[in-house]
Amino acid sequence: MKVQKQIESTLQDALPIQWLNVENESHMHSVPENSETHFKVTVVSQAFETKRLIARHRMINSLLSEQLAGPVHALALHTYTPSEWQEKHGAVPASPNCLGGSKAEQA
């Protein structure tokens, strides 16, 4: 939970967040048990109001550069303005199952 808490804290300190969910999805991948390498991050913030999707992702990647340089291997980002979030009724796309590494052989 250490990396997940770092991600949450970093984003909360840097952005005016209306809603945040950081989900460790490492268990869905070919990594050792209790890994913190794959995350899905959903952020709703007014800071995204004037930014296109790529700029939002660059902003988050920049804020999380320390984690991305170290333990985090994959980061799925879902970034919304408050109005976009309301239009989606709080629905976030499901993550696909991993087929990499040893899981590809099982499929």
User: Do 30 and 18 meet the contact criterion of CB atoms below 8 Å apart?
Assistant: no
Residue 99 lies in a domain: no
pLDDT digits (tens, 9 = 90+) for 65-106: 999 998 998 899 999 999 999 998 888 888 877 666 554 444
pLDDT value, residue 107? 45
Residue 105 lies in a domain: no
Q: How many residues does this entry show for the chain?
A: 107
pLDDT value, residue 34? 67
First to last CA, the chain: 29
Q: Look at the chain and report how many structural domains it folds into.
A: 1
Per-residue confidence band for 32, with pLDDT thresholds at 50, 70 and 90 = low
Query: What letter represents residue 57's amino acid?
Result: H
Cα(91)–Cα(81) distance, rounded to whole angstroms? 13
Residue 40 lies in a domain: yes
Residue 69 lies in a domain: yes
Q: Report which secondary-structure segment, H or E, holds 4.
A: helix 2-14
Residue 94 lies in a domain: no
Residue 9 sits in a domain whose CATH number is: 3.30.300.90
For residues 6-21, average pLDDT:
97
pTM of the predicted structure, to 2 decimals: 0.84
Q: What range defines the domain where residue 80 resides?
A: 2-88
Residue 46 lies in a domain: yes
Task: Kindly tell me the burial class for residue 93, based on how many C-beta atoms sit within 10 Å of its own C-beta (0-12, 13-18, 19 or more).
Answer: exposed
Q: What is the mean pLDDT of the chain?
A: 87
More confident residue, 106 or 53: 53
Residue 56 lies in a domain: yes
Residue 19 lies in a domain: yes
| pLDDT > 90 in the chain, percent | 62
